[in-house]
Amino acid sequence: MKEMQGKVLAVNISQAKGEKKHNIGCGLLVANHGLKDDAHVGSWIRQVSLLAKESIEKIREKGLDVQYGDFAENLTIEGIDLPALPIGTRLKVGSRVLLEVTQIGKVCHERCNIFYTVGDCVMPREGIFAKVLVGGEIQVGDRIAFTK
């Protein structure tokens, strides 16, 4: 078993669904609910969304100046190939928080501004979703680890 690690680059929230999120630096993940004060919280399988910096770079290479949170992801991370993770993978964030991967990608019912600007959006293919098994504080710089 190989242990892989990544790092949290941004903790993002928004007040309403369908809008970009902004980095708050630190936040509280609530068990079976999601990121406190985010529009997407709830007792469902997509409580927390994650997207890798490496995915965001693909859109930047197409000439669009996108920032962390622009894809409406809660956690922007680096160092883990998120879309390659199997459903059920458990991710430990920081010293306490435990997430379980519930979905890879999503169907976009309406195209976003990023898609219309560059003809592509990575979130439907490379973003992942998780439920919060053990809650706690998270912050930029926290390590994310899983055992493969």
Task: Look at residue 5 in the predicted model and tell me its pLDDT.
Answer: 87
**Is the pLDDT reported for residue 1 higher than 70?**
no
Render the burial of 27-66: b for 16+ CB within 10 Å, e for the rest.
bebeeebbbeebbbbeeeebbbbbbbbbbbeebeeeeeeb
Domain residue ranges in the chain: 3-147
Beta bridge partners of 88: none
Say what the pTM is. 0.89
Task: Look at residue 109 in the predicted model and tell me its pLDDT.
Answer: 55
- 125: nearest Cα among 139, 117, 114, 133: 114
Residue 18: CB atoms within 10 Å: 9
Q: Residue 3 — very low, low, confident or very high, per pLDDT cuts 50/70/90? A: low
Span 45-62, average pLDDT: 90
The CATH H-level superfamily of 3-147 is: PK beta-barrel domain-like (2.40.33.20)
